[in-house]
Amino acid sequence: MNPSTLPLLNKTLRIGHTPDPDDAFMFYGFASGQVQIDDYEVQHVLEDIQTLNQKALHGEIEVTAVSAAVYPSLQHSYWILPVGASVGRNYGPVVVKKAGTTPATKRIGIPGRYTTAFLLLRLYTEDYQPISYRFDEIPAALNSGDIDYGLLIHEAQITYESMGLEKVMNLGERWMEETRLPIPLGLDVVRKDLGKEMAVKIGLALKQSIQIGLAQREEAVSYAIKFGRGLSQPLGDQFIGMYVNNDTLNIGEEGERALNLLYDKAYRAGIIPAPTRVDILRDVL
């Protein structure tokens, strides 16, 4: 028996997402018990994005958030859901350094080699010496002098100044300046071996969960900022608004063009080994 079919036999669906406010907000409908998928038990798998990427590469989770950058390696086993994407419009991962310093070397803490942040760094810079950290450990490593620069994702994109750090480059701004397109940073994907009917049910349930969060915003934000590592309610609301919006409800034609362009650039730069077919499960819309 194929191990990947076992969770469906025992009526459990594993759904992976990161322990940060925007993902938590998207899944508020599930967490609050307002959304269900038939009589399946939803098991939340909360891990940092690099760990979720690695689990997806091994097919360990039926439904999961992943970095857009890892999808080329998943294209044959997962569909992209048209809902649940984290899209930056002239903002995104930020390269920072200690305020007022001029580092002599270019050791940079990155949140994982499969992340879209690292892919963008490779597309727009050179000579950095990457060192992998869990995403929330990078500011401390930077302040302690273990690294010279940090590549920040999640809420640190808007809180870095309070940690004594200053911006060197916003990679989302660089992407927009060059392409005039938004940058899809994260995607939600569903395993193809579940079958299209089940995958569509899952996508519709995720869409409903996001819509509930948007409709019950105050309650959903209060729930989501518990995952914000001390983030205040106003900053939590601001950050959630950056990554849970109309693009999240439908990645759209513009988002699909951006994904295709991202993968084409990565292929031409020799970062990914082969062209990528963007396979979005539009039946959900």
Residues labelled catalytic: 154
Q: Are 37 and 202 in contact (CB under 8 A)?
A: yes
Q: Are 107 and 148 in contact (CB under 8 A)?
A: yes
Taking CA atoms, 118 is separated from 92, 121, 130, 146, 253, in Å, by 12, 5, 9, 19, 25
Q: Exposure of 189 by Cβ count < 10 A (0-12 exposed, 13-18 middle, 19+ buried)?
A: buried
Q: Are 49 and 116 in contact (CB under 8 A)?
A: no
Q: Are 13 and 43 in contact (CB under 8 A)?
A: yes
Q: How far apart are CA 107 and CA 116, in angstroms?
A: 19
